[in-house]
Amino acid sequence: MQPIVVIPARGGSKGVPGKNIKVLNDKPLIQYTIDAARHVFKDNEICVSTDDNIIKSTVESLGLRVPFLRPAHLATDTATSRDVLLHALQYHEAQHKKTPDVIVLLQPTSPFRTAEHIKEALVLYNEKLDMVVSVKETKANPYYVLMEEDDKGFLVKSKVSNSTRRQDVPKVWEVNGAIYIINPKSLKNKTFAAFKKVIKYKMDEMSSHDIDTMLDWRIAEGISKDLLF
């Protein structure tokens, strides 16, 4: 298998300013993802896509070359993950004169995803799929706890089931943002929303922890020290 591993890390971050290189238990956040990727892939297969010179310098201080700076239009709030991946893929194809067999997207906001998680997810992938995506079982099950308003303003369940106990309703999976293993042909031809052949790789809640807010960061500090509170 000839992969390209993309770690997207733009400079602008509103929830946690500078979070991609903010130090979490003596390591910049992005290093957790780089370290996990390096246990599975070669350095020349790993591409950190950033628009920020400070992030670039931080990554290169770890001995990993950053091949380009992402164009400004791909570092806005409106730029999609697909746009960023296609840009990295086009660069890779121009440099290597071939399309990789698989694209692995690893977001740096998932510091507790490990090399073993990545390896296990890769085993599930084959070229007939659009994507393997990491998930966790959601606590906000739409059959039990999620509500919506009807046209009279009354709350009703967002999904209906005949089950009367929480443990009897169908399981619902929440994408945790840690691992995406993507078919390059699918990425070129379809949006993520149009992917139909998608299977899950299940992760536990702690390993699934994603950092988007300062509360998420505080929890991550506790997890990283094996002390949640």
Q: What is the DSSP letter of 162?
A: S
Q: pTM for this one?
A: 0.91
Residue 15 — very low, low, confident or very high, per pLDDT cuts 50/70/90? confident
* pLDDT above 70: percentage of residues in the chain: 95
Q: Cα angle at 78 between 72 and 81, to 5 degrees?
A: 85
In a domain, 19, yes or no: yes
pLDDT of residue 27 exceeding 50, the answer is: yes
* pLDDT above 90: percentage of residues in the chain: 74
In a domain, 138, yes or no: yes
**What does the pLDDT read at residue 166?**
66
Tell which wins on pLDDT, 107 or 79.
Answer: 107
- Residue 209 one-letter amino acid: H
**What does the pLDDT read at residue 228?**
44
Tell which wins on pLDDT, 218 or 159.
Answer: 218
User: pLDDT for 219-228, tens place per residue?
Assistant: 999 998 864 4
In a domain, 52, yes or no: yes
Is residue 143 within 8 Å of residue 159, measured between CB atoms? yes
pLDDT of residue 29 exceeding 70, the answer is: yes
Q: List Cα–Cα distances, 87 to 5, 74, 135, in angstroms.
A: 13, 9, 26
CATH number at residue 110: 3.90.550.10
146: containing domain = 3-224
Residue 164 — very low, low, confident or very high, per pLDDT cuts 50/70/90? low
Task: Work out how many domains the chain is built from and give that number.
Answer: 1
In a domain, 56, yes or no: yes
**Structure tokens that stand for 20 in this block:** 């991609």
**What does the pLDDT read at residue 21?**
96
In a domain, 229, yes or no: no
**Structure tokens that stand for 183 in this block:** 């078919």
In a domain, 142, yes or no: yes
**What does the pLDDT read at residue 229?**
39
**Structure tokens that stand for 193 in this block:** 């929303």
In a domain, 28, yes or no: yes
